[in-house]
Structure 1
Amino acid sequence: MTPTESGQVALELERMRGTMEAGFARVDGSLALLVQRSDQTDKQLADHEARLDALEKSRWPLASIAALTATAGVLVAVWQLAGR
Structure 2
Amino acid sequence: MTEPGPHDVALELERLRTAVETGFARIDGRLDLLAQRDDQTDKTLDDHEQRLTALERARWPLPSLAVLVGTAGCALSAWQLIR
Global fold match (TM > 0.5): yes
Note the 1:4-83 alignment, pairs <5 A. Answer: 4-75=4-75, 79=78
Q: What is the Cα deviation at residue 21 of structure 1?
A: 0.3
RMSD between aligned residues? 2.0
Shift of 1:70: 2.9
Task: Report SS of the residue matched to 1:43.
Answer: helix
Count of equivalent residues: 80
- Cα distance in 2 for residues equivalent to 1:6 and 1:53: 69
**Aligned counterparts of 2:67 and 2:13: Cα–Cα separation in 1:** 80
Alpha-carbon distance in structure 2 between the residues aligned to 1:5 and 1:14 = 14
Runs of 4+ in 1 over 6 A off after TM superposition: none
